[in-house]
Structure 1
Amino acid sequence: MQEARALGQEEEAKRRELLDVDPTLPLEAQQAVFLDRLSTIAGVDPRKTEAQLVRSQATELFLRLEPVQAHLVGMSVEERRAALADIRRRMGYSEEQIARMAAEDVYKDARWEKGHAYMKAREALLSRLGQADSLDAELGALREQYFGHEASTLAREEAAGFFRYQRRRIYGRN
Protein backbone atom coordinates (compact mmCIF):
# COMPACT_ATOMS: atom_id res chain seq x y z
CA MET A 1 0.00 0.00 0.00
CA GLN A 2 2.76 2.41 0.99
CA GLU A 3 4.71 1.46 -2.13
CA ALA A 4 1.69 2.22 -4.34
CA ARG A 5 1.22 5.59 -2.61
CA ALA A 6 4.90 6.43 -3.14
CA LEU A 7 4.61 5.52 -6.83
CA GLY A 8 1.51 7.69 -7.14
CA GLN A 9 3.28 10.62 -5.50
CA GLU A 10 6.27 10.14 -7.79
CA GLU A 11 4.02 10.12 -10.87
CA GLU A 12 2.25 13.27 -9.66
CA ALA A 13 5.59 15.00 -9.11
CA LYS A 14 6.68 14.07 -12.64
CA ARG A 15 3.40 15.35 -14.05
CA ARG A 16 3.77 18.67 -12.19
CA GLU A 17 7.35 19.01 -13.42
CA LEU A 18 6.25 18.39 -17.01
CA LEU A 19 3.45 20.95 -16.80
CA ASP A 20 5.41 23.62 -14.91
CA VAL A 21 6.47 25.89 -17.76
CA ASP A 22 8.01 29.28 -17.03
CA PRO A 23 5.48 31.88 -18.25
CA THR A 24 8.23 34.44 -18.83
CA LEU A 25 9.89 32.33 -21.53
CA PRO A 26 9.06 32.93 -25.20
CA LEU A 27 6.65 30.40 -26.69
CA GLU A 28 9.37 28.52 -28.59
CA ALA A 29 11.47 28.17 -25.41
CA GLN A 30 8.41 26.94 -23.48
CA GLN A 31 7.91 24.25 -26.09
CA ALA A 32 11.58 23.25 -26.03
CA VAL A 33 11.46 22.85 -22.23
CA PHE A 34 8.20 20.90 -22.48
CA LEU A 35 9.58 18.55 -25.16
CA ASP A 36 12.85 17.99 -23.26
CA ARG A 37 10.94 17.16 -20.08
CA LEU A 38 8.51 14.92 -21.95
CA SER A 39 11.43 13.02 -23.42
CA THR A 40 13.21 12.75 -20.07
CA ILE A 41 10.22 12.02 -17.84
CA ALA A 42 8.05 9.91 -20.10
CA GLY A 43 10.64 8.66 -22.58
CA VAL A 44 8.54 10.06 -25.42
CA ASP A 45 9.54 12.50 -28.11
CA PRO A 46 6.64 13.29 -30.44
CA ARG A 47 9.08 14.63 -33.05
CA LYS A 48 10.74 11.23 -33.35
CA THR A 49 7.77 8.90 -33.45
CA GLU A 50 5.46 7.75 -36.17
CA ALA A 51 2.68 7.30 -33.61
CA GLN A 52 0.18 10.03 -34.47
CA LEU A 53 -1.61 9.50 -31.14
CA VAL A 54 1.55 10.36 -29.19
CA ARG A 55 2.12 13.50 -31.26
CA SER A 56 -1.52 14.52 -30.94
CA GLN A 57 -1.65 14.00 -27.17
CA ALA A 58 1.64 15.80 -26.58
CA THR A 59 0.48 18.74 -28.69
CA GLU A 60 -2.87 18.83 -26.90
CA LEU A 61 -1.14 18.82 -23.51
CA PHE A 62 1.26 21.57 -24.52
CA LEU A 63 -1.48 23.78 -25.99
CA ARG A 64 -3.53 23.49 -22.79
CA LEU A 65 -0.73 24.93 -20.63
CA GLU A 66 -1.70 28.30 -19.16
CA PRO A 67 1.53 30.09 -20.14
CA VAL A 68 1.13 28.84 -23.73
CA GLN A 69 -2.48 30.03 -23.92
CA ALA A 70 -1.44 33.37 -22.40
CA HIS A 71 0.99 33.86 -25.30
CA LEU A 72 -1.55 32.80 -27.91
CA VAL A 73 -4.35 34.99 -26.50
CA GLY A 74 -2.06 38.03 -26.65
CA MET A 75 -1.28 37.60 -30.35
CA SER A 76 -2.98 38.97 -33.41
CA VAL A 77 -4.82 36.41 -35.54
CA GLU A 78 -1.94 36.25 -38.03
CA GLU A 79 0.69 35.89 -35.32
CA ARG A 80 -1.34 33.18 -33.59
CA ARG A 81 -1.78 31.22 -36.82
CA ALA A 82 1.96 31.39 -37.50
CA ALA A 83 2.74 30.40 -33.88
CA LEU A 84 0.40 27.40 -34.06
CA ALA A 85 2.01 26.30 -37.32
CA ASP A 86 5.47 26.60 -35.72
CA ILE A 87 4.33 24.66 -32.63
CA ARG A 88 2.95 21.88 -34.81
CA ARG A 89 6.07 21.87 -36.97
CA ARG A 90 8.29 21.50 -33.90
CA MET A 91 6.04 18.66 -32.72
CA GLY A 92 6.88 16.79 -35.90
CA TYR A 93 3.74 17.29 -37.97
CA SER A 94 4.11 17.23 -41.75
CA GLU A 95 3.45 20.37 -43.78
CA GLU A 96 0.29 18.73 -45.14
CA GLN A 97 -0.99 18.07 -41.61
CA ILE A 98 -0.10 21.62 -40.55
CA ALA A 99 -2.01 23.06 -43.52
CA ARG A 100 -5.05 20.91 -42.69
CA MET A 101 -4.98 22.01 -39.04
CA ALA A 102 -4.53 25.63 -40.08
CA ALA A 103 -7.70 25.36 -42.20
CA GLU A 104 -9.50 23.92 -39.17
CA ASP A 105 -8.23 26.85 -37.09
CA VAL A 106 -9.66 29.32 -39.62
CA TYR A 107 -13.02 27.54 -39.40
CA LYS A 108 -12.92 27.54 -35.59
CA ASP A 109 -11.98 31.23 -35.49
CA ALA A 110 -15.00 32.05 -37.65
CA ARG A 111 -17.25 29.94 -35.41
CA TRP A 112 -16.03 31.73 -32.29
CA GLU A 113 -16.49 35.14 -33.92
CA LYS A 114 -20.02 34.18 -34.91
CA GLY A 115 -20.64 32.77 -31.44
CA HIS A 116 -19.47 35.94 -29.73
CA ALA A 117 -21.62 38.06 -32.05
CA TYR A 118 -24.58 35.82 -31.21
CA MET A 119 -23.97 36.16 -27.47
CA LYS A 120 -23.83 39.94 -27.80
CA ALA A 121 -27.08 39.98 -29.82
CA ARG A 122 -28.62 37.56 -27.30
CA GLU A 123 -27.76 39.85 -24.40
CA ALA A 124 -29.24 42.83 -26.24
CA LEU A 125 -32.41 40.85 -26.90
CA LEU A 126 -32.68 39.79 -23.27
CA SER A 127 -32.25 43.34 -22.00
CA ARG A 128 -34.81 44.62 -24.52
CA LEU A 129 -37.46 41.95 -23.99
CA GLY A 130 -36.80 40.88 -20.40
CA GLN A 131 -39.12 37.96 -19.69
CA ALA A 132 -41.71 38.81 -22.33
CA ASP A 133 -43.85 36.03 -23.76
CA SER A 134 -42.17 36.46 -27.13
CA LEU A 135 -38.66 35.92 -25.70
CA ASP A 136 -38.43 32.21 -26.53
CA ALA A 137 -39.56 32.76 -30.12
CA GLU A 138 -37.17 35.69 -30.54
CA LEU A 139 -34.25 33.68 -29.11
CA GLY A 140 -35.12 30.82 -31.45
CA ALA A 141 -35.11 33.16 -34.42
CA LEU A 142 -31.79 34.64 -33.30
CA ARG A 143 -30.21 31.19 -32.96
CA GLU A 144 -31.56 30.25 -36.39
CA GLN A 145 -30.11 33.45 -37.87
CA TYR A 146 -26.64 32.73 -36.49
CA PHE A 147 -26.47 28.94 -36.52
CA GLY A 148 -28.99 27.61 -39.03
CA HIS A 149 -29.46 23.86 -38.64
CA GLU A 150 -27.45 23.87 -35.39
CA ALA A 151 -29.90 26.25 -33.68
CA SER A 152 -31.76 23.42 -31.96
CA THR A 153 -28.52 22.09 -30.48
CA LEU A 154 -27.71 25.49 -29.02
CA ALA A 155 -31.27 25.79 -27.67
CA ARG A 156 -30.88 22.47 -25.81
CA GLU A 157 -27.48 23.52 -24.47
CA GLU A 158 -28.83 26.85 -23.25
CA ALA A 159 -31.85 25.16 -21.66
CA ALA A 160 -29.36 23.01 -19.72
CA GLY A 161 -27.42 26.13 -18.66
CA PHE A 162 -24.47 25.58 -20.99
CA PHE A 163 -23.37 28.53 -23.13
CA ARG A 164 -20.54 27.31 -25.34
CA TYR A 165 -19.38 30.78 -26.34
CA GLN A 166 -19.02 31.90 -22.75
CA ARG A 167 -16.54 29.16 -21.99
CA ARG A 168 -12.83 29.66 -22.35
CA ARG A 169 -11.32 29.37 -25.79
CA ILE A 170 -8.28 27.13 -26.04
CA TYR A 171 -6.40 28.13 -29.18
CA GLY A 172 -5.26 25.22 -31.28
CA ARG A 173 -7.96 23.09 -29.70
CA ASN A 174 -11.53 24.45 -29.81
Structure 2
Amino acid sequence: MVAQVMQAASAHEHEEEARRRALLGVDPTLSLEEQQRDFLDRLSAVAGVDPRKPEARLVRSQATELFLRLEPVQARLAAMPVEERRAALADIRRRMGFSEEMIAQKAADDAHRDARWENGHSYMKARAELFSRLGQGEALEAELRSLREQYFGHEAPTIAREEESGFFRYQRRRVYGRN
Protein backbone atom coordinates (compact mmCIF):
# COMPACT_ATOMS: atom_id res chain seq x y z
CA MET A 1 0.00 0.00 0.00
CA VAL A 2 2.79 2.45 0.96
CA ALA A 3 4.65 1.60 -2.24
CA GLN A 4 1.55 2.39 -4.31
CA VAL A 5 1.10 5.75 -2.58
CA MET A 6 4.78 6.59 -3.12
CA GLN A 7 4.54 5.56 -6.78
CA ALA A 8 1.43 7.71 -7.26
CA ALA A 9 3.12 10.68 -5.59
CA SER A 10 6.19 10.25 -7.79
CA ALA A 11 4.05 10.06 -10.94
CA HIS A 12 2.19 13.21 -9.86
CA GLU A 13 5.50 15.05 -9.29
CA HIS A 14 6.75 14.05 -12.75
CA GLU A 15 3.47 15.18 -14.30
CA GLU A 16 3.66 18.53 -12.47
CA GLU A 17 7.27 19.04 -13.59
CA ALA A 18 6.35 18.27 -17.21
CA ARG A 19 3.52 20.83 -17.03
CA ARG A 20 5.83 23.42 -15.50
CA ARG A 21 8.44 22.90 -18.24
CA ALA A 22 5.75 23.09 -20.92
CA LEU A 23 4.43 26.33 -19.49
CA LEU A 24 7.73 28.10 -18.81
CA GLY A 25 9.61 27.22 -21.99
CA VAL A 26 9.55 30.62 -23.68
CA ASP A 27 11.55 31.09 -26.87
CA PRO A 28 13.99 33.98 -26.25
CA THR A 29 14.14 34.82 -29.96
CA LEU A 30 10.47 35.84 -30.06
CA SER A 31 9.26 39.39 -29.51
CA LEU A 32 7.63 40.17 -26.16
CA GLU A 33 4.18 40.07 -27.77
CA GLU A 34 4.93 36.69 -29.37
CA GLN A 35 6.37 35.36 -26.10
CA GLN A 36 3.22 36.43 -24.29
CA ARG A 37 0.89 34.94 -26.90
CA ASP A 38 2.85 31.67 -26.74
CA PHE A 39 2.78 31.72 -22.92
CA LEU A 40 -0.99 32.31 -22.85
CA ASP A 41 -1.60 29.55 -25.40
CA ARG A 42 0.45 27.12 -23.31
CA LEU A 43 -1.24 28.25 -20.10
CA SER A 44 -4.60 27.55 -21.66
CA ALA A 45 -3.45 24.13 -22.93
CA VAL A 46 -1.66 23.07 -19.73
CA ALA A 47 -4.00 24.51 -17.10
CA GLY A 48 -7.21 25.07 -19.04
CA VAL A 49 -7.23 28.72 -17.95
CA ASP A 50 -7.48 31.99 -19.87
CA PRO A 51 -6.42 34.89 -17.60
CA ARG A 52 -7.85 37.42 -20.07
CA LYS A 53 -11.43 36.48 -19.16
CA PRO A 54 -13.12 39.03 -16.86
CA GLU A 55 -13.89 36.45 -14.17
CA ALA A 56 -10.25 35.30 -13.99
CA ARG A 57 -8.91 38.18 -11.88
CA LEU A 58 -6.75 36.04 -9.56
CA VAL A 59 -5.48 33.86 -12.40
CA ARG A 60 -4.71 37.00 -14.44
CA SER A 61 -2.58 38.41 -11.66
CA GLN A 62 -0.72 35.13 -11.09
CA ALA A 63 -0.24 34.48 -14.80
CA THR A 64 1.10 37.98 -15.34
CA GLU A 65 3.57 37.61 -12.49
CA LEU A 66 4.68 34.22 -13.77
CA PHE A 67 5.12 35.58 -17.30
CA LEU A 68 7.09 38.60 -16.07
CA ARG A 69 9.45 36.35 -14.08
CA LEU A 70 10.48 34.37 -17.18
CA GLU A 71 14.14 34.97 -17.97
CA PRO A 72 13.67 35.71 -21.70
CA VAL A 73 10.98 38.27 -20.80
CA GLN A 74 13.19 39.92 -18.17
CA ALA A 75 16.13 39.98 -20.59
CA ARG A 76 14.03 41.86 -23.15
CA LEU A 77 12.63 44.28 -20.57
CA ALA A 78 16.08 44.96 -19.09
CA ALA A 79 17.49 45.80 -22.53
CA MET A 80 14.84 48.47 -23.16
CA PRO A 81 15.10 52.17 -22.38
CA VAL A 82 12.87 53.17 -19.45
CA GLU A 83 9.97 54.62 -21.47
CA GLU A 84 9.94 51.71 -23.89
CA ARG A 85 9.93 49.27 -20.96
CA ARG A 86 7.02 51.13 -19.33
CA ALA A 87 5.05 50.95 -22.58
CA ALA A 88 5.89 47.24 -22.97
CA LEU A 89 4.69 46.50 -19.42
CA ALA A 90 1.44 48.36 -20.10
CA ASP A 91 0.97 46.36 -23.32
CA ILE A 92 1.65 43.08 -21.50
CA ARG A 93 -0.92 43.93 -18.85
CA ARG A 94 -3.43 45.07 -21.46
CA ARG A 95 -3.08 41.78 -23.36
CA MET A 96 -3.55 39.93 -20.06
CA GLY A 97 -6.93 41.63 -19.68
CA PHE A 98 -6.17 44.27 -17.04
CA SER A 99 -8.42 47.34 -17.02
CA GLU A 100 -6.92 50.69 -18.00
CA GLU A 101 -7.33 51.79 -14.39
CA MET A 102 -5.29 48.82 -13.16
CA ILE A 103 -2.68 49.38 -15.88
CA ALA A 104 -2.30 52.99 -14.72
CA GLN A 105 -1.97 51.87 -11.08
CA LYS A 106 0.64 49.25 -12.01
CA ALA A 107 2.51 51.88 -14.06
CA ALA A 108 2.60 54.17 -11.02
CA ASP A 109 3.92 51.26 -8.92
CA ASP A 110 6.58 50.56 -11.57
CA ALA A 111 7.66 54.23 -11.63
CA HIS A 112 7.98 54.19 -7.84
CA ARG A 113 10.05 51.00 -7.95
CA ASP A 114 12.25 52.43 -10.75
CA ALA A 115 12.99 55.46 -8.58
CA ARG A 116 13.82 53.23 -5.58
CA TRP A 117 16.20 51.10 -7.66
CA GLU A 118 17.90 54.17 -9.11
CA ASN A 119 18.31 55.57 -5.60
CA GLY A 120 19.57 52.21 -4.37
CA HIS A 121 22.16 51.94 -7.11
CA SER A 122 23.36 55.48 -6.37
CA TYR A 123 23.65 54.53 -2.70
CA MET A 124 25.64 51.38 -3.52
CA LYS A 125 28.06 53.44 -5.64
CA ALA A 126 28.48 56.03 -2.86
CA ARG A 127 28.88 53.18 -0.33
CA ALA A 128 31.66 51.60 -2.39
CA GLU A 129 33.42 54.97 -2.60
CA LEU A 130 33.29 55.27 1.20
CA PHE A 131 34.84 51.83 1.62
CA SER A 132 37.64 52.61 -0.83
CA ARG A 133 38.32 55.96 0.85
CA LEU A 134 37.92 55.01 4.53
CA GLY A 135 38.62 51.27 4.64
CA GLN A 136 37.32 50.03 8.02
CA GLY A 137 36.65 51.46 11.45
CA GLU A 138 34.41 53.86 13.34
CA ALA A 139 34.78 56.68 10.82
CA LEU A 140 33.46 54.38 8.10
CA GLU A 141 30.54 53.25 10.28
CA ALA A 142 29.56 56.84 11.05
CA GLU A 143 29.74 57.80 7.38
CA LEU A 144 27.70 54.73 6.40
CA ARG A 145 24.97 55.65 8.92
CA SER A 146 24.86 59.14 7.51
CA LEU A 147 24.82 57.87 3.93
CA ARG A 148 21.96 55.43 4.65
CA GLU A 149 19.93 58.22 6.27
CA GLN A 150 20.60 60.49 3.30
CA TYR A 151 19.43 57.89 0.78
CA PHE A 152 16.79 55.97 2.72
CA GLY A 153 15.49 58.21 5.51
CA HIS A 154 13.34 56.22 7.94
CA GLU A 155 14.33 52.96 6.20
CA ALA A 156 18.02 53.46 7.04
CA PRO A 157 17.94 51.13 10.10
CA THR A 158 16.37 48.38 7.99
CA ILE A 159 19.05 48.76 5.32
CA ALA A 160 21.74 48.66 8.03
CA ARG A 161 20.34 45.41 9.49
CA GLU A 162 20.15 43.87 6.01
CA GLU A 163 23.76 44.79 5.31
CA GLU A 164 24.87 43.42 8.69
CA SER A 165 23.30 40.09 7.73
CA GLY A 166 25.02 40.13 4.34
CA PHE A 167 21.93 41.02 2.27
CA PHE A 168 22.25 43.91 -0.18
CA ARG A 169 18.86 44.47 -1.76
CA TYR A 170 20.18 46.58 -4.65
CA GLN A 171 22.65 43.91 -5.70
CA ARG A 172 19.94 41.29 -6.11
CA ARG A 173 18.25 40.59 -9.41
CA ARG A 174 15.80 43.20 -10.60
CA VAL A 175 12.50 41.76 -11.82
CA TYR A 176 10.77 44.40 -13.92
CA GLY A 177 7.07 44.68 -13.21
CA ARG A 178 7.60 43.01 -9.84
CA ASN A 179 10.24 44.57 -7.58
Same fold at TM > 0.5: yes
TM-score by length of 1: 0.97
Deviations 1:60-109 (A, max 9, x none): 10000000001000100011000000000011100000000001111100
Deviation at 1:55, TM superposition (A): 1.0
Q: 1:152 aligns with which of 150, 157, 177?
A: 157
CA distance in 2, matches of 1:14, 1:50: 24
Q: 1:143 aligns with which of 142, 145, 148?
A: 148
Tell me which residue corresponds to 1:19: 24
- What is the aligned length? 174
Secondary structure at the aligned position of 2:30 is classed as: coil
Deviation beyond 3 Å, 4+ runs, structure 1: none
For structure 1, which segment, 89-98 or 7-16, has the greater mean C-alpha deviation from structure 2 after superposition?
7-16
Does the 8 Å contact 2:50/2:56 carry over to 1? no
Deviations 1:17-44 (A, max 9, x none): 1000000000000000100110110011
Unaligned runs of 5+ in 1: none
Among the aligned pairs, what percent are the same residue? 75
Q: 1:2 aligns with which of 2, 7, 14?
A: 7
Deviation at 1:134, TM superposition (A): 1.1
Deviation at 1:49, TM superposition (A): 4.1
Give the aligned residue type for 1:43. G
* CA RMSD across the alignment: 0.9
Unaligned runs of 5+ in 2: 1-5
Tell me which residue corresponds to 1:66: 71
Q: 1:57 aligns with which of 62, 75, 91?
A: 62
Tell me which residue corresponds to 2:3: none
1:42 aligns with 2:53: no
CA distance in 2, matches of 1:45, 1:154: 40
CA distance in 2, matches of 1:40, 1:96: 29
Secondary structure at the aligned position of 2:97 is classed as: coil
Tell me which residue corresponds to 2:166: 161
